[in-house]
Amino acid sequence: MSLAGRHVVVMGVSGCGKSTLGALLARRYGVPFAEGDEFHSDASRAKMAAGIPLTDEDRWPWLHRLADWMSEREGSGSVVSCSALRRAYREILDSAEGDVTFVHLDVPEEELARRMSARTGHYMPPSLLASQLATLEPLTPAEDGHVLSAASPAAELADEVAARLAARDR
């Protein structure tokens, strides 16, 4: 199966495994991968590192940069990791040229806290987990997306995503 004309946005709060699954899917499909964190401004990264949650005004330019990047890759398709916590954020990503499918990785709060506390070298401190969970709006039936429990290994999640995308294309 090809992702030509399709973008897969792996979404969820910090620590859910977006980057790991996103990179795996991009390799599987041979398409470009964008780590959403790399599209944040230096000012936004500094705010998060200081434990200050981002505002919508901080996020709008970031989301538009990601949507533009996706549109530039409409022909090949792409995979993006992005928290995409609110529906309004997902609407910006969904405005990219091509079809956009969201894959929300759901992880219990205790496991997220454990994962975030164990990582090193990441600017997102565990203290911001509560604000991310409070901001998270579940996918709605009107959105093209799937919710997966991220308790499984990344390879199994990639198989599940591939199966769901293939079933959708039948």
What is the per-residue pLDDT for 118?
59
Instruction: Examine residue 163 and state whether it is found in any structural domain, yes or no.
Output: yes
Instruction: Examine residue 135 and state whether it is found in any structural domain, yes or no.
Output: yes
What is the per-residue pLDDT for 108?
75
| Residue 34 domain boundaries | 6-169
pLDDT band at 24 (very low <50, low <70, confident <90, very high): very high
Mean pLDDT across the chain? 88
* Average pLDDT over every residue of 61-78: 96
What is the spatial distance between Cα 84 and Cα 63, in angstroms, rounded to a whole number? 8
Instruction: Examine residue 45 and state whether it is found in any structural domain, yes or no.
Output: yes
What's 154's domain CATH number? 3.40.50.300
What is the per-residue pLDDT for 143?
96
Instruction: Examine residue 13 and state whether it is found in any structural domain, yes or no.
Output: yes
Instruction: Examine residue 1 and state whether it is found in any structural domain, yes or no.
Output: no
Q: What percent of the chain has pLDDT over 90?
A: 61
Cβ(57)–Cβ(12) under 8 Å?
A: no
How confident is the model over 92-146, as pLDDT tens digits? 999 999 999 999 998 876 766 666 555 565 555 555 667 778 888 999 999 999 9
- Checking if the pLDDT of 7 tops 90, the result is yes
Which of the two residues, 14 and 70, has the higher pLDDT score?
70
What is the per-residue pLDDT for 134?
82
Instruction: Examine residue 101 and state whether it is found in any structural domain, yes or no.
Output: yes
Residue with tokens 């992702």: 3
* Average pLDDT over every residue of 143-170: 90
pLDDT band at 73 (very low <50, low <70, confident <90, very high): very high
Please count the structural domains in the chain.
Answer: 1
- Checking if the pLDDT of 91 tops 80, the result is yes
